[in-house]
Amino acid sequence: MKTFDTAFIERLYRSMYLIRRVEEEIARIYPTDKIKSPVHLSIGQEAVSVGICEALRDGDVVFGTYRGHAMYLAKGGDLKKMIAELYGKITGCARGKGGSMHLIDTEKGVMGTSAIVGTTIPISVGYAYGLKYNGSDSVVVSFFGDGAIDEGAFHESLNFAALKKLPVLFVCENNFYAIHSHHLSRHHSDNICERAASYGMPAEKIEDGDIFRIYESAGKHIEAIRQGKGPVFLECITCRWKEHVGPNDDFHLGYRSEKEVACWKEKDQLTRLRNLLSSNNVSVIENEVEQEIKDAFEFAEKSPFPEGVVLYEDVFKES
């Protein structure tokens, strides 16, 4: 693997630290009921979003899932609007009507996330079809969990994307669980990449959660996709540290062991990046990010709730 310069490692660290600390703050505040929607935290999974979004350029777009805070922030989504959205305020990125599971910032290429498993995959493919049709060289990244493999729309989408050679990078964030069901209690084999490849696209699996590997691999695939070579499938094995939904641990439920998560905590990519930087650089970044987070929560606190009439807006496209 090539060596990376300090400025790049600082970028990665800033993005990873922002996401981790924002979600820790969400977990801390959640019991006060100020946050009006369920929260699905990505703590432990951040390296996938950060590694991939760092390989994108302006004009590229992402679609994701209800576990979408990391993707939204890694792609540059507005933090104040995200926190206000969680608080159900009118200043939120979906005007306070979507909550944590429906994040969007189209100016930054965050095209949307959805609570319904698998639903943004065909939308990503449709968007990619539009890009190709219009002669654009932008790329779509479609993020989804391993639970989406269970959905018919996933298979239809991969088939169509391969058939039409569409500019999509499919990214499966495989944390092995759909809520509390292990992948092998839902499928005969652990062969997601083989199944994706059978539709007619290269498929690669990254097993260790290494942020540099994810970045390099994404960069290589995105370049090929940009050149018109068609879709690619990337499976990133990862680990959700918290419960499926909510701010707590869930080891008391017994569907997975603490040990299983502990080995991922040992190779935490945030700590790894921190150890590659000088303590001075780390504290400059952390102080700036902490201020940004404080400002965002204050913005959300001070913003008003939407008026009732807002419920009837954004339902149909206004001409």
Ligand X SMILES: Cc1ncc(C[n+]2csc(CCOP(=O)(O)OP(=O)(O)O)c2C)c(N)n1
Identified binder of ligand X from the candidate list 148, 169, 192, 237, rule CB under 6 A: 148
Number of residues that bind Mg ion (CB under 5 A): 4
179 binds, among Mg ion, ligand X, none (CB under 5 to 8 A by kind): ligand X
Binding mask 172-211 for Mg ion (x = CB under 5 A): ---x-x----------------------------------
SS3 labels along the chain: CCCCCHHHHHHHHHHHHHHHHHHHHHHHHHHHCCCCCCCCCCCCCHHHHHHHHCCCCCCCEEEEECCCHHHHHHCCCCHHHHHHHHCCCCCCCCCCCCHHHCCCEHHHCEEEEECCCCCHHHHHHHHHHHHHHCCCCCCEEEEEEHHHHHCHHHHHHHHHHHHCCCCEEEEEEECCEECCEEHHHCCCCCCHHHHHHCCCCCEEEECCCCHHHHHHHHHHHHHHHHCCCCCEEEEEECCCCCCCCCCCCCHHHCCCCHHHHHHHHHCCHHHHHHCCCCHHHHHHHHHHHHHHHHHHHHHHHHCCCCCHHHHHCCCCCCC
Instruction: Considering the complex, state which of residue 66 and residue 160 has its C-beta at the smaller distance from Mg ion.
Output: 66
Query: Measured from the CB of residue 183, what is the shortest distance to ligand X in angstroms?
Result: 8
Instruction: Considering the complex, state which of residue 116 and residue 262 has its C-beta at the smaller distance from ligand X.
Output: 116
115 binds, among ligand X, Mg ion, none (CB under 5 to 8 A by kind): ligand X
Per CB under 6 A, does 117 bind ligand X?
yes
Per CB under 6 A, does 115 bind ligand X?
yes
Binding mask 239-268 for ligand X (x = CB under 6 A): -----x------------------------
148 binds, among ligand X, Mg ion, none (CB under 5 to 8 A by kind): ligand X
Identified binder of Mg ion from the candidate list 85, 105, 146, 210, rule CB under 5 A: 146
Per CB under 6 A, does 175 bind ligand X?
yes
Q: Which residues bind ligand X (CB under 6 A)?
A: 67, 115-117, 145-148, 175, 177-179, 244
